[in-house]
Amino acid sequence: MGMFRITDVVLVVGMVGAAAFTYTTKHAAEAEYAKIRKLETAIRLEEEAIDVLKADWSLLTQPARLQKLADRYYDDLQLVPIEPHQIAEFGELPERNMRIEELLGGSGEQSAKTEEGVDDMTTSGVQQ
């Protein structure tokens, strides 16, 4: 009979341990599932907000609406359509008169001019 009692105690302890493990695992899984549901809800709300914003953008950028606004605020903004001659290719742009090195005297340093001539003090923070 003593043997059955030790075996019974070991089995009962094992079952209690297994039940505790199952209970803990179940609650941890439920907590994670609740987090997942919360994230899915937040994602769905964000997607709905994006859809609303896209609809608003579509409404706000309708050409007829923009034309009405341009007509209404013409005196303030002076908006006029672009003429074809205003669009230029890159090669049609005028070249710069001077390069930056020429403007800085080739050395990359700027000097201050005084009434007596050029001041020797370097005013640039760039060192070479």
What does the longest C-alpha to C-alpha distance in the chain come to? Answer: 119
Q: How far apart are CA 52 and CA 58, in angstroms?
A: 10
This model's pTM is above 0.85: no
Would you kindly state where each structural domain of the chain is located, as residue ranges?
2-89
Q: What is the pLDDT of residues 39-90, one digit of tens each?
A: 999 999 999 999 999 999 999 999 999 999 989 998 898 888 888 888 888 8
Count of all residues that appear for the chain in the document: 128
Distance separating alpha carbons of residues 67 and 75, to the nearest angstrom = 14
